[in-house]
Amino acid sequence: MSTATTTNVAEPITAETILRLFPDIDTRSDALEGHDEEQIRLMDEVCIVTDQNDLPIGTASKKLCHLMTNIDKGLLHRAFSVFLFNDKNELLLQQRATEKITFPDMWTNTCCSHPLNLANETGSTLPDAIAGVKNAARRKLDHELGIKQEQVPFEDFRFLTRIHYKAPSDGKWGEHEIDYILFIKANPEVNANLNEVQATQWVSAEKLKEMFKDPSLKFTPWFKLICESMLFEWWASLDNGLEKYTDEQEIRRML
């Protein structure tokens, strides 16, 4: 796993300085040349830019947020990671599609994405932000995995904590996120969008540990961070005692 370091930003990142500090690039530029057209289109989605304490300070395109040149200047955005378990307490994994611009072909948790600058996905207080990421999670579970919203009710999501991490993808692209961790138990029908997801698999904790030993399998950095820190402890408490891990107020720094 790559060692990440924090970078001091000479000028505070505010709504007024974002566009000057992080000038956007055209979608037809070299940074996106040769990539899948649908994935290029999705790079124009508008993410929520935050300060180090997860306070929204502006918005920026998904493309701008994921360029390492901007990440290295300190650009930080809000994200979420869903861990969906069935009634056997097996976790649904996905393998990201080859078409993905960041971290293609890697195995990861059920769904990882971003709340957008939409009325029901934003929030400045933690309760509002949690509600926003739950709405975003339901939207993206449908988009990526064909899991209909009625199969994953809003009230069934459990918020655990937030992690702040930074990870490069290929030198040009990467992640720098405040990532909200959401658990949910459900038994949905899965109909993966092959432009997003090339494979899915239900796994036990023991099976996942075996997968990590297989050098032919690659995993996203945020998933590895979560697994190496708290996932298996949380998983063991899924039906008894998870409450002591939910609604954590402090951000876990994993830089």
CATH number of the domain within which 45 lies: 3.90.79.10
67 close to 24: Cβ distance less than 8 angstroms: no
Q: What is the mean pLDDT of residues 198-213?
A: 98
Give me the helices (H) in 86-168, please.
126-145
Whether 164 is covered by a domain: the verdict is yes
Active-site residue, selected from the candidate residues 144, 175, 177, 196? 177
Give me the helices (H) in 118-184, please.
126-145
Q: Count the neighbouring beta carbons within 10 Å of the beta carbon of residue 119.
A: 7
Please determine, for residue 16, whether its predicted confidence score (pLDDT) is greater than 50.
yes
Which residue carries 């005692």 as its tokens?
A: 241
Q: Count the neighbouring beta carbons within 10 Å of the beta carbon of residue 251.
A: 15
> How high is the pLDDT of residue 164?
97
Number of domains in the chain: 1
Query: What band does 30 get if pLDDT is binned at 50, 70 and 90?
Result: low
Q: What is the mean pLDDT of residues 135-149?
A: 98
Q: How many CA atoms lie within 13 A of 203 on its CB side?
A: 20
Integer Cα distance of 128 and 133 in angstroms: 9
Query: What band does 245 get if pLDDT is binned at 50, 70 and 90?
Result: very high
Whether 4 is covered by a domain: the verdict is no
Integer Cα distance of 43 and 163 in angstroms: 23
168 close to 255: Cβ distance less than 8 angstroms: no
| Amino acid letter for position 31 | A
- Please report which helix (H) or strand (E) contains residue 39, including its range: helix 37-42
Active-site residue, selected from the candidate residues 111, 112, 121, 175? 112
Query: What band does 191 get if pLDDT is binned at 50, 70 and 90?
Result: very high
Q: Would you call 177 a catalytic residue per the annotation? A: yes
Q: 54-101 pLDDT, tens per residue? A: 999 888 889 889 988 888 888 999 999 999 999 999 999 999 999 998
Which residue carries 């692209």 as its tokens?
A: 173
Please determine, for residue 156, whether its predicted confidence score (pLDDT) is greater than 90.
yes
Please determine, for residue 214, whether its predicted confidence score (pLDDT) is greater than 60.
yes
Whether 81 is covered by a domain: the verdict is yes
- Global confidence as pTM: 0.89
Q: What is the mean pLDDT of residues 163-190?
A: 93
What percent of the chain has a predicted confidence (pLDDT) above 90?
70
Whether 228 is covered by a domain: the verdict is yes
Domain region containing 241: 13-22+31-251
Name the more confident of 242 and 10. 242
Whether 183 is covered by a domain: the verdict is yes
Structure tokens at 133: 């990421």
Q: What is the mean pLDDT of residues 232-242?
A: 97
Whether 3 is covered by a domain: the verdict is no
Whether 61 is covered by a domain: the verdict is yes
Return mean pLDDT, the chain.
89
Integer Cα distance of 210 and 130 in angstroms: 32
144 close to 196: Cβ distance less than 8 angstroms: yes
Whether 69 is covered by a domain: the verdict is yes
Q: 34-44 pLDDT, tens per residue? A: 776 787 777 78
Integer Cα distance of 83 and 141 in angstroms: 11
Compute the 3-state secondary structure of the chain and give helix, strand, coil in percent, each to the nearest 5: 30, 25, 45
Please determine, for residue 109, whether its predicted confidence score (pLDDT) is greater than 70.
yes
